[in-house]
Amino acid sequence: MTSAADLAGLAALLADETRAGICLALLDGRAWTASELAAYAGVAPSTATGHLHRLVEGGLLVQRRQGRHRYVQLADPSVAQLLEDLSARFEPPPDRTGGLRAATASAALRRGRTCYDHLAGRLGVAVTEAMIGRGLLDNGGGFALTPAGRSWLIDLLGWDPAWPRSGRRPLVRGCLDWTERREHLGGLVGAKLCERFLGHGWVVRIGSGRAVRLTAAGQAALRDQLGITLDGEGV
C-alpha cells in the first residue's frame, strides 16, 4: 500500500514548474544532456542539475554516462504513462497569438507526436481507430489484440506478440490523448509500431521536440496497411 508520504513526495517532485517542464520534454523518449535540458527550461545549468538530482532520486528519471557526458531520460514507460495521464486531466491550452513559432509548435504537437515511445496526437488516434475498425484491436472493456491483429503484426513487423517478453509492461494499453480526448495505442505494441514508423521513415521528427510529421512513404504505408488516407499533417 502506497503511503501518504510517498504520494506527497511524488507530487512535490512535479509541483515545481521547471521540473515538470523537464519531465514533459523527456516525453519524446530520448535521452537529453543536462545542458540541453537547462537551455530548454531556460534556467542556469547549475539550477537544472539540482532539479535533475531530485528527479533521479525520486525515481522519475535515470541517468547514464557516456564519455564525458551525462544523459537523463524517463525511468521507464510507466513514468511516461503517469505524465500523459496527468496531462489528459487538463484542457489543451489554446494557441497563443503572441508568437507564430509557439502557435506552430503547438499545432504540430496536436497533429502528431511521440508519447515516450508510441504515437499520439491526431496521427496516433487515427492509427488506433483504424486498427479497431479493421478488427485488429478490440476496444470493448479496454484494449485487447485480436487474432487478426497478431497476424497483422507478424506480417508487418516480423514480431510475434505471443513471444515471451521480460517485464510487466502490457501488450496493449489505451492512453487518453491529452489533445484529442480520445484514446491512442500504448503498451508494447504501440512502442513497436512507433519504432517501425520512425525506423522506416514513415514519420520524421520536427526539430528537437516530440512533434512528428507523416512522410509520403508513411502516407502510402497507412493506405496499404490500414486503408486510411492522411496527408503530411496527419489529418
- Express each pLDDT in 136-148 by its tens digit: 999 998 899 999 9
Residue spans of the domains in the chain: they are: 4-75, 87-226
Cα distances (angstroms) measured from residue 173 to each of 12, 48, 170, 216: 27, 33, 7, 28
Q: Looking at residues 202-213, what average pLDDT do you find?
A: 88
Contact 178, 87 (CB under 8 A): yes
Q: Which residues pair with 213 in a beta bridge?
A: 204
- Nearest-Å Rg of the Cα atoms of the chain is 18
* Each residue's pLDDT tens digit, 29-43: 889 999 999 998 999
SS3 assignment, position 64: strand
The class of domain 4-75 in CATH terms is mainly alpha
Tell me what the mean pLDDT of segment 87-93 comes to: 74
pLDDT band with cut points at 50, 70 and 90 for residue 181: confident
Contact predicate 74/116, CB 8 Å? yes
**187's torsion region: left (phi>0), alpha (psi -120 to 50) or beta?**
left
User: Lowest-pLDDT range, 46-55, 106-115, 142-151?
Assistant: 106-115
**Contact yes or no for 194/77 (Cβ under 8 A):** no
Kindly give, in sequence order, each residue whose CB lies less than 8 Å from that of residue 230, ignoring residues fewer than 6 positions away.
Answer: 123, 126, 214, 218, 219, 222
Q: Nearest to residue 73, comparing CAs of 41, 21, 30, 102?
A: 30
Beta bridge partners of residue 61, listed in sequence order: 74
Q: What's the pLDDT at 74?
A: 94
pLDDT for the residue numbered 3:
84
Cβ-proximal residues to 66 (8 Å cutoff; 6+ apart), any chain: none
pLDDT digits 0-9 by tens, 65-84 = 887 788 999 999 889 889 98
